[in-house]
Structure 1
Amino acid sequence: MDWLTGLEGTPAGHNLALVLALTAAILHAIFGALQKGRHDPWISRMAMDLSYGLIALPFALFVVPWPEPHMWPIFGGAMVIHLCYKLAQGFTYVKGAYTVVYPVVRGTGPLFAVIGAMIVFDESYSALQWVGIGVLLTGIFGLAVYNFIFLTVQRDTLVPALALAVLTGLFVALYTTYDAYGIRATANPFTFLMWFFALDGLLFPPLVAIFHRRAVARIDDWPALARRGITGGLVALGSFGSIMMATRLDKVGEAAVLRETSTVFAALIGWIMLGEKVGPRRLVLMALIALGAVIVEFSG
């Protein structure tokens, strides 16, 4: 921990934050595909949250330092924000095809996260970095528009799905900024991470079990759901943990933008794992997303 926090604000810390943000992008795309895959999105999320909550709980109780008193209200705020985010995300995945709604969610998030970082953390960005953000958003929203026009699945619920995707993106920006504040408010970042995962992971599953109990009762393959839950829980620990740590080591806005290269990985996953088509036009749009991220990273 001492070595890691010693990297804050240094070139080495900047480079590590870059690696962590890109790692979070890949893992977040996998996490989204796991939630949208075989099982009902609510049930998948319940299993994955429960898994990472149970994994983190012993570390929170017995390994990391106990949170400082001022951290408990911060954890409370984080739980409310993430609960709203999960509700919005769950309804979005129910209503819309993964490769349509995911780019909208991830495109809305970084723009507002950058604005939030400017207000909360007094971060600034060069003109060329704003160009990079524009290029990235052009690719993300271009991908969403292309999917909106040409995709044939779940057309009847596409408009409400897109509206929910925008709402989810706003919550992504909110939790990115808030969690960055939270992980910087404690002396030991692993205290925030382990307690966040323990509290967050054990809050949502009981709510799903109560309010979505009919879907729970219809589960006919508990071993498969458990495997998905454990896999998703481990992926979530790596994904969310990486991006939170990146926001402590370096600029919040840059980390948020780099994470949105997850849209590229999501499209590839949708093609390979979910059987959704990826044509040359979409490949060009995905290249714009990657180019925008590169411009933001290397023009700072």
Structure 2
Amino acid sequence: MVDLINQISGTPEGARIASLLALTAALMHAIFGALQKGRHDPWVSRAAIDIWVIVISLPVALFVVPWPEPHMWPIFAGMLVIHISYKMAQAMTYQRGAYTVVYPVVRGTGPLVTVIAAGIVFQERYNLTQWMGVAILVSGILGFAVYNYRKLEVGRETLMPALGWALITGVFVAAYTTYDAWGIRQTADPFTFLAWFFLLDGIFMPLWTMRRLARLPRTDLVPLGLRGLIGALVAFVSFGSIMMATRIDEVGRAAVLRETSTVFAALVGWLVLGEKVGPRRTALMALIAAGAIIMEFGAR
């Protein structure tokens, strides 16, 4: 499998597979976000997911994949710093602003900064058509924020600091996307990076929410545990797909395609959660999809 990944990296076939992986990551990311909604605190839900991530990834990291090379441990340390910083900024964002407003700002900032960072770190170059696709996609995502803001009835007084934190969180999304793409390329076996990534990244949230977890009623443990197990399986597919996509193809393109998760999230909200879509949201979803298509095929 590793030999096959190395063979297709940087090839047209690899680009096609990376695109499918990025779209898979987008769909799974939308489902992952939906699993954190519901009657439980979203941070408790995320902690339940990460507990299962640790349980599943621990034996894989220790007994299945090759042991990380010595030079990988500082890379993992840097990864932890970036991901913990991202989660803290995300917490500050969601504590201050309505999720429906600040989430699109986070996701809209992320791909734009990632494309710029990928140009610096990986020397990726994009033509004018591809930049137009990025601009259209980002405009559609931020359009969701404006649309949801206009319908916001409570929480406007704390929205400005929340938007500031949302921009910071979006920069951290770009930072971890770029750093993880660089990190997974530094090891001979990408599955080693993935296994240890999930194991190490899963530690923070259960520790951060330990007191909240301890106060949970016993009747909540089984449904929360089941939600956590499903979420962990979704997380493996979501984050594993996008990191593998950035291993075999351009980081910027994969990052842009992943942000079609905003479209999938709206569809999940409509089909599963019973939320209304309406003509304006449909138009914004079409704008995001158009931007992704232009970015994807602009160089062909």
Q: Distance in 2 between matches of 1:293 and 1:89?
A: 25
Q: Which residue is 1:112 aligned to?
A: 113
1:71, 1:179 → 2: CA distance?
A: 12
Q: 1:20 to 1:99 in 2, by over 3 A?
A: same
Residues 110 and 173 in structure 1, CA contact (< 8 A), matched pair in contact too: yes
Cα deviation 1:39-70 (Å, max 9, x = unaligned):
11211111111111211111111111111100
Partner-residue secondary structure (3-state), 2:202: helix
- In the TM superposition, residue 150 of structure 1 has moved relative to its aligned partner by 1.7
Matches of 2:275 and 2:155 in 1, distance apart? Answer: 13
Residue 162 of structure 2 is matched in structure 1 by 161
Distance 1:232 1:240, change over 3 A: same
- Matched letter for residue 110 of structure 1: P
Could you tell me which residue of structure 2 aligns to residue 263 of structure 1? 262
Counterpart amino acid of residue 27 in structure 1? M
Seen in structure 2, the aligned counterparts of structure 1 residues 153 and 277 have a Cα distance that, compared at 3 Å, is farther
Which stretch of structure 1 is more off in the superposition, 137-146 or 92-101?
Answer: 92-101
Q: Distance in 1 between matches of 2:274 and 2:96?
A: 18
Inter-partner Cα distance in structure 1 for 2:164 and 2:39: 24
Offset of 1:289 from its aligned partner?
A: 0.4
Quick check: 1:35 aligned with 2:41? Answer: no
Quote the residue 2:22 is aligned against: 21
Decide whether the 8 Å contact of 2:44 with 2:212 is kept in 1.
Answer: no
Read off the aligned partner of 1:282 and give its amino acid letter.
R
Name 2:288's counterpart in structure 1: 289
CA distance in 2, matches of 1:277, 1:103: 17
Quote the Cα distance in structure 1 between the aligned partners of 2:270 and 2:97.
16
Of 213, 217, 221, which residue of structure 1 is paired with 2:215?
Answer: 217
- Cα distance in 2 between the residues matched to 1:187 and 1:160: 43
Kept after mapping to 1: 8 A contact 2:129/2:294: yes
CA displacement, residues 243-267 of structure 1 (integer Å, 9 cap, x when unaligned): 0000000000000000000011112
Maintained 8 Å contact 1:36/1:98: no
SS in 1 for 2:124: coil
Shift of 1:113: 0.4
Q: 1:33 to 1:92 in 2, by over 3 A?
A: farther
- State whether structure 2 residue 71 is matched by structure 1 residue 73: no
Distance in structure 1 (CA, Å) of the matches to 2:99 and 2:276: 12
Q: Which amino acid aligns with 1:297?
A: E
Moved more, 173-182 or 35-44: 35-44
User: Which deviates more, 110-119 or 270-279?
Assistant: 270-279
Report the TM-score when normalising by structure 1: 0.94
Tell me the residue number matched to 1:86: 87
5+ unaligned residues in a row in structure 2: which ranges?
Answer: none
- Kept in 2: contact 1:108–1:169 (CA 8 A): yes
* 1:131-146 correspondence to structure 2 within 5 Å: 131-146=132-147
1:155-214, Cα deviation, whole Å (9 max, x unpaired)? 4543333332222111100000000000000011001000111111123312321xxx14
State how far apart, in whole Å, the 1-side matches of 2:207 and 2:105 are.
Answer: 29
For the Cα contact (< 8 Å) 1:102–1:263, is it kept in 2? no
Tell me, yes or no, if the aligned pair for 1:142 and 1:285 is still in contact at 8 Å: yes
Q: Distance in 2 between matches of 1:274 and 1:166?
A: 27
Q: Is 1:35–1:41's contact at 8 Å kept on the other side of the alignment?
A: yes
Cα drift, residue 143 of structure 1: 1.3
TM normalised by structure 2 equals 0.94
Match of 1:98 in 2: 99
Letter in 2 for 1:111: L
- Name the structure 1 match of 2:209: 208
Cα distance in 1 between the residues matched to 2:288 and 2:214: 38
Contact 1:99 1:266 in 2 (8 A): no
Alpha-carbon contact 2:53-2:198 (below 8 Å) kept: yes
Match of 2:148 in 1: 147
Q: Does 1:170 align with 2:178?
A: no
Could you list the runs of 5+ residues in structure 1 that have no partner in the other structure?
Answer: none
Distance in 1 of aligned mates of 2:268 and 2:214: 26
Shift of 1:86: 1.5
- 1:216/1:273 Cα in 2 relative to 1: closer, same or farther (>3 Å)? farther
RMSD of aligned Cα (Å): 1.6
2:10 paired with 1:5: no
